[in-house]
Homo-oligomer: A and B are copies of this chain.
């Protein structure tokens, strides 16, 4: 039997996974990984936590679960995989099924032949094309050497001020890491909101929280990095502001490393990712591609997306490892772009489509709802969760969910991701059978309660108004009655202070005469989370009021400054 020669370009996540799975499928294949960097199998998603001091042993980023560093020796001994580190593949010669490479230390060049090739070339951090980008003190957070640099910043404790450019996942994680290193941070985002996978309302709530840890500047970009003697000393923004700092971390997204594939004539998609089929095979059947360098279908929209997530890279690697050996037997269907990040004591996650996203893609017949509640009972010290759910009205199918807050966001996002995977509707979710005990959840889980509110809205039991819409109405001084239905002591402790009247729910039926005579007057009701606000709206509607709306998510989801 002819030996199967497999070459893998890229040794970070998807590459080694594909190689290892291929080895498990075929003890005799000849498997070689070419890696441009010096390290292998780096847990790159862990960099922010290394920088932030969640752990101090750098080896933990490179170790197998058993504590062995995954170096070339490990790959050979444990997996019989040859690894060539600090070696760059320069050409894919697909006609001759051969690659050309260059040893980055010696400069020596060579070629190697393959039967099957895997491209796992990853993605590179984008950099703004502005002056000063090469100054000392300007960095990205993409490679292990970036992480080493930023960890050194922490350990030395000299740098006091930093600017983080980009309010996406990595930017936000960087803010936390540098804050924990005692550094004063300004976060710059070009767009009008942080974390664009969130809708504005939830992004604004996250921003409000991040503001307690860093100075956040939106709708402003970097115009130049300023410095002296080659060293950064300020960031100049597009509006002219100069922010003194000794460190700037650029986190404005990543671009698929597609050059090798492009040069080889492989098909590249509009996202810049290498085009692959469901077997993760490129336009050349002997070449597979995986991880951050490919584009894959969004399973809801069927449109190709660039989804550089570490978990997907690993899943794709396993699929390719199997297909390399057994022919195309395993399929990777695509992504629903599930993601999560930690922001200090907040979790921020999403799966599927946001409302903004859905509207942009032409989904017009959608409904959304915002739900706020604890994750478990108050007596078990529950924490707040705020969820925004997006559904298709015609089918009731779940299109997406965003969840934020100090509560158990991870479980909530997992539940919604599974709901989308299972093509579940709001009605399905309304009777889901989830694990309940007070240490873990409310009797009606937050996710199920969210589905209940959506059912109520879809059935027309209530009309919601979003925090943004209300803010707009207040600004316009629209004629309306604002009604907080909590108890007076709750009102004393915390209130929006936007001109609202207080009538506790328990008194509303007796105090209806305090409501306007004109039954068509717009009335907006709320409470802490708008559960009582909803009950108040029902009472008003039953008494003939025709224009009652419930402030979705209540006071805790109000993303602007409150009076109290």
For A341, the chain B residues whose CB sits under 8 A away are 437
- Cβ of A421 and Cβ of B411 under 8 Å apart? no
> Smallest CB-CB separation from A26: which chain B residue?
B542
Residue of B nearest to A332 (CB): B431
Q: Which residue of B lies closest to A173 (CB)?
A: B437
Per the bound structure, the CA–CA distance linking A43 and B54 in Å amounts to 38
B490 contacts A66, CB within 8 Å? Answer: yes
Contact partner, A65, options B417, B507, B529, Cβ 8 Å: B529
Does chain B have a CB within 8 A of A560? no
Chain B residues contacting A438 (CB-CB under 8 Å) are: 43, 45-46, 49
The listed residue (B27, B342, B431) touching A538 by CB distance below 8 A is B27
Cβ-defined contact, A46 with B351, below 8 A: no
For residues 296 through 334 of chain A, which have their beta carbon under 8 Å from a beta carbon of chain B? 299, 309-315, 318-319, 331-333
Contact with B along A497-536 (1 / 0, CB 8 A): 0000000011101000000000000000001110110110
Q: 8 Å CB contacts to B: which residues of A262-290?
A: none
Residues A336 and B433 in contact in the complex (CB < 8 Å), given A411-B414, A418-B415: yes
For A, the interface residue count at a CB cutoff of 8 angstroms equals 105
Instruction: Find the B residue at minimum CB distance from A57.
Output: B379
- State whether the Cβ of A380 lies closer than 8 Å to any Cβ in chain B: yes
CB <8 Å contact, A45 and B338: no
A56–chain B nearest beta-carbon distance, Å: 10
- Inter-chain contacts of A535 with B (CB < 8 A): 24, 78-79
Residues of chain A from 38 to 79 with CB closer than 8 A to chain B in the complex: 43, 45-46, 49-50, 54-55, 57, 60-61, 63, 65-66, 68, 74, 77-79
- A435 x B422 contact (CB < 8 A): no
Residues in B whose Cβ lies below 8 Å from that of A79 = 535
Question: Quick check: is A132 within 8 A (CB to CB) of the other chain?
Answer: no
The answer to whether A443 has its CB under 8 Å from any CB of chain B is: yes
Distance in angstroms between the alpha carbons of A77 and B410 in the assembled complex: 38
Chain copies in complex: 2
Chain B residues contacting A542 (CB-CB under 8 Å) are 27-28
For A543, list chain B residues within 8 Å (CB).
27
Q: A54-B380, A379-B54, A443-B314 are contacts. A338–B27 as well, Cβ < 8 Å? A: no
Contact between B421 and A421 (Cβ–Cβ < 8 Å)? no
User: Does chain B have a CB within 8 A of A337?
Assistant: yes
Stretch from A203-211, A444-452, A463-471 contacting the other chain: A444-452
Contact B433 A66, beta carbon cutoff 8 Å: no
Q: Is the CB of A43 within 8 A of B436?
A: no
Closest residue on chain B to residue A78 by CB atoms: B506
Quick one: which of B311, B312, B532 contacts A66, CB cutoff 8 A? B532
Choose from B61, B339, B342, B422 the contact partner of A422 (Cβ within 8 Å). Answer: B422
Is A390 close to B, CB under 8 A? Answer: no
Is A191 an interface position by the 8 A CB rule?
Answer: no
Name the residue of chain B whose CB is nearest to the CB of A45: B438
Residues A436 and B65 in contact, CB atoms below 8 Å apart: no
A82: interface (CB < 8 Å): no
Name the B residues within 8 Å of A507 (CB-CB): 77
A30 at the interface (CB under 8 A from B): no
Nearest-CB residue, chain B, relative to A61: B379
A182 at the interface (CB under 8 A from B): no
A417→B439 contact, CB < 8 A: no
Instruction: Provide the residues of chain B in CB contact with A319, threshold 8 Å.
Output: 431
- A347 close to chain B: CB less than 8 A: yes
The answer to whether the Cβ of A539 comes within 8 Å of any Cβ in the partner chain is yes
Q: How far is the CA of A26 from the CA of B559 in the complex (A)?
A: 33
Q: What would be 7 A-B contacts, judged by CB atoms less than 8 Å apart?
A: A43-B377, A43-B443, A49-B380, A49-B439, A77-B505, A414-B415, A418-B424
Not counting A318-B452, A342-B439, A417-B434, a sample of 18 additional A-B residue pairs whose C-beta atoms are within 8 angstroms of each other reads: A27-B538, A27-B542, A43-B379, A45-B436, A50-B379, A55-B379, A60-B377, A77-B507, A78-B505, A310-B443, A314-B443, A315-B430, A338-B435, A339-B437, A340-B436, A409-B435, A414-B435, A418-B422
